[in-house]
Amino acid sequence: MSRDKYGIGQDSYCYPNSDILINSLNIHDETLLEDAEREISSLCANQIEFALPPYDLNYFCAIHKALFGDLYPWAGELRQIDISKGNTRFCSCQRIEIEAQKLFSTIDYGNTLVELSRDDLVITIAELYADLNVVHPFREGNGRAQRILFEHMIINCGFEIDWSIIEPREWLEANIKGYYCDYSLMRSIFEKCIGSAF
């Protein structure tokens, strides 16, 4: 679960001599913590209410806190260590705020998205999603928080979204390609999951 830190030394987010994230339930077993995280975040996701723009880093942090605040004391806070998954190194922790705000400003914090056609929305959302995924602002739980953020953006534009049609392997590949600025697969996925206008 938390084996995505890079660098040497003890991860301050984990219990001493462990790679288990410090948590409010004091769970020291990786499988139990993953189960608790999934259950708690699923329950909390249903309580997050849609809100109008601005969609910015503060909004993203609030979603993360709502999802994981019952489990992790640092929920909603920007990570203070550098992390990677496999060969993918995410944004340096010193640049998270700068890079995230740069991305949110390109869409005027969600305000310009409503002016786009569905085709242009698919392109813009796909690129923004992939780029924000590289920022990866939190120690854990980035994907779940990011999906809710983008769900709100898309709903605000008057479109439905269905994440359930995404194949996990295809999603992983799209995010890896997006890391290298190849947005083709991410566009294809959003073409399928962004529904009709309501």
* Nearest partner of 161 among 192, 186, 138, 182, judged by Cα: 192
pLDDT of residue 1: 52
- Whole-number Å distance between alpha carbons of 46 and 57: 21
For 6, left (φ over 0), alpha (ψ -120 to 50), or beta? beta
Per residue in 70-123, pLDDT tens?
999 999 999 999 999 888 999 999 999 999 999 999 999 999 999 999 999 999
* CB-neighbour burial class of residue 38 (10 A; exposed 0-12, middle 13-18, buried 19+): exposed
- As a whole number of angstroms, the distance between CA 182 and CA 23 comes to 36
Phi, psi for residue 97 in degrees, rounded to 5: -60, -45
Higher-pLDDT residue of 86 and 176 is: 176
Q: Within 13 A of 146's CA, how many CA atoms are on the CB side?
A: 20
Look up the pTM and report it: 0.94
What domains, with CATH codes, occur in the chain? 30-197 (1.10.3290.10)
pLDDT at 6: 56
pLDDT, tens digit (0-9, with 9 covering 90-100), for 11-30: 999 999 999 999 999 999 99
Q: What is the pLDDT of residues 160-169, one digit of tens each?
A: 999 999 999 9
Query: At residue 109, what are phi and psi to the nearest 5 degrees?
Result: 60, 35
Secondary structure of 122-141 as H, E, C letters: HHHHHHHHHHHHHHCCCCCC
| pLDDT of amino acid 116 | 97
pLDDT for 122-173, tens place per residue? 999 999 999 999 999 999 999 999 999 999 999 999 999 999 999 999 999 9
105: tokens are 């400003």
User: Is residue 5 predicted with pLDDT exceeding 80?
Assistant: no
